[in-house]
Amino acid sequence: MRGAPAGAFDFYVLALSWSPGFCQLEGSRKGSEQCDPGRNLGFTVHGLWPQFERGFPSECQPSTRAPSRLAIEETAGVFPDEGLARYEWRKHGTCSGKSPADYFRDVRRARDRIVIPRRFESLARDVRARPAEIEGAFVEANPGLRPDMMALVCRRGVLQEVRLCLEKDLRGFRRCPQLDDAGCGFGEIRVNSAR
């Protein structure tokens, strides 16, 4: 819902992009820095999105409240590039009810809360896996997380993103049935290796 009141949302979704899948499907074509040769990125933050039980707010405050250079420095090592951080602020961060610096600190806090399963730290080759296996690896690595608190995003049978649902205060995970219903299905998907 465009232009919703800032701070009026139910929970957050932390979207972690699986860079090899994103780059194969669209990022390289768009010239995304995330896909530059030699970066060898795995999971990176796509965004931290305020969410309603059904739907989500977007662009909640005038875009004149652009992040300062100091606020953008908060994104180093979290987002794959500054352009994405700025875009995410305009579309989603303005709905958090926080300043740009506080929103970006929350993005880092949310990302630091998540343990990436070891099997995804350095894939030497493309693998095939069922979505339930990938969810299971995240559940095992993150106490309190359950499959109904996350969703995988795939395109053309390739893993593109893992989305995790967090309480508004970022202290715990929470159920998000609407997101979970939009997952990858049950068949095997390809998990591309970093290049």
Angstrom distance (rounded) from CA 112 to CA 137:
17
Q: Which residues pair with 43 in a beta bridge?
A: 18
Coil, helix or strand for 43? strand
Angle between helices 82-91 and 100-113 in degrees, nearest 10 = 110
User: Which amino acid, one-letter code, is at 154?
Assistant: C
- DSSP E strands in 82-180: the ranges are 127-129, 150-155, 158-166
Set 74, 92, 135, 161: catalytic member: 92
Is position 188 annotated as part of the catalytic site? no
- Closest residue by Cα to residue 15 from 82, 103, 129, 114: 114
For the question of residue 88 being annotated catalytic, the response is yes
Question: Which one of the listed residues 74, 88, 135, 161 is annotated catalytic?
Answer: 88
Q: Which entry of 26, 33, 46, 59 is annotated as an active-site residue?
A: 46
What is residue 101's DSSP assignment? H
Half-sphere exposure of 166 (CA within 13 A, CB side): 27
Q: What are the respective helix, strand and coil percentages of the chain, to the nearest 5?
A: 35, 20, 45
Q: Among this protein's residues, is 92 annotated catalytic?
A: yes
Residue at 89: amino acid letter: W
* Chain centroid to CA 104: 13
Positions marked catalytic: 46, 88, 92
